[in-house]
Structure 1
Amino acid sequence: MIWFGVGLFIIGLVTVIVSVVLLLRPQHQPPPTPRQLQQSPSPTRPNAKKRPVLESTLAHMTWARRELQTDPHIGVVAPAVLVGQRGEQFPVYEGENTIGRHSSNMIKIVDSTVSRYHAVIEGYGEEFVFMDWQASQPSEINGELVTPGERHALKDGDKIRVGITTLRFVVNRRNSS
């Protein structure tokens, strides 16, 4: 009978130890949301909000297809697109569409002359605005230099150059009146 009591005591002690270890073990953290990324400061610009980036290469197609499966915009027709020099298309949705080399951007550009966080296109209804964040590699709209930090209204057919990459801004006619 005494061995039975000792056995129960040991089982109880092991249960408590396992519970404490599980509680103290670091839990898996989900990846940050775009909003959390925007609130994290950039290591190179401590006062700036961290911005996401977009890539377009054949090597990233499989990755992009997997990303689309979790894209909250699936089934939503983008009000506009950016069309690259080789015909690649980047949807431009309402709200903030960040452009750059970093994988957290909505529009990822694989071009060493493009900054990790280069620019943003903001969509509000039928209006779209482009703003360059990068002074060392200024962007152009229709051949005119863009001053970093200033907003520029976009029109259908505008040509945007970031780094050495040229993109054409195209409004989706199905969404416009």
Structure 2
Amino acid sequence: MQGHPVGSAVPTAASQPTPSPKMHSPGSPPATPSASPPASSSVPRAKLVIQRGGTVGKEFLLTETESNIGRWDADGGIFPDVDLDQDDPEAKVSRRHARILCQDGQYLLEDLGSTNGTFVNRGRRLLPGNRHPLNDGDEIIVGKTFLKFHYIR
């Protein structure tokens, strides 16, 4: 569950060492190199970009199937994947504000019972627990922070 600001280390398959083939002893079947799993449509490939509030242009990569949006709180044990603590000086974003899920290649946004609400494309406030599908270019408003959702191609 990680939303990494761009510039932070997010390992990629290309940066991982290639395992060497294992030797086998006589009488045992030879070890076969394990094939990489086929590319799945449920692998997260998206980002959020701050459009208004805080550091405009700051990006958060959505690298897991679930990413929490909120504000960091060490005392409360809250460490959101998309941490807007430094970008929300008025504390309008709840500590546990919203969550983005990736299911079968579709991204869904869910409000977690935030104080100031979660909105998509300036529409109605999302009801807590209801999942709203996201499309490339959608605007997400949490507190006074405006984020743009983008698929990474």
Aligned structure 1 segments of 4 or more residues deviating by more than 3 angstroms:
none
Which protein is richer in strand relative to its size? 2
Alignment partner, residue 108 of structure 1: 83
Alignment partner, residue 63 of structure 2: 93
- In structure 1, give the amino acid aligned to 2:49: V
Which 5+ residue runs of structure 1 have no aligned equivalent? 1-33, 35-51
State the TM-score, normalized to the length of structure 2.
0.63
Which protein is richer in helix relative to its size? 1
Aligned residue runs from structure 1 range 14-33, under 5 A: none
Aligned residue runs from structure 1 range 10-49, under 5 A: none
- In structure 1, give the amino acid aligned to 2:82: I
Name the CA distance, whole Å, in 2 between partners of 1:102 and 1:137.
Answer: 17
Which 5+ residue runs of structure 2 have no aligned equivalent? 14-42, 74-78
What is the aligned residue count?
110
Alignment partner, residue 139 of structure 2: 159
- In structure 2, give the amino acid aligned to 1:97: S
Name the CA distance, whole Å, in 2 between partners of 1:130 and 1:78.
Answer: 14
Percent of aligned positions that are identical: 33
Residue by residue, what CA displacement relative to the aligned partner does 1:90-127 show, whole Å, maximum 9, x if unpaired?
Answer: 01124110000025111101211001111100012420
Name the CA distance, whole Å, in 1 between partners of 2:146 and 2:4.
Answer: 14
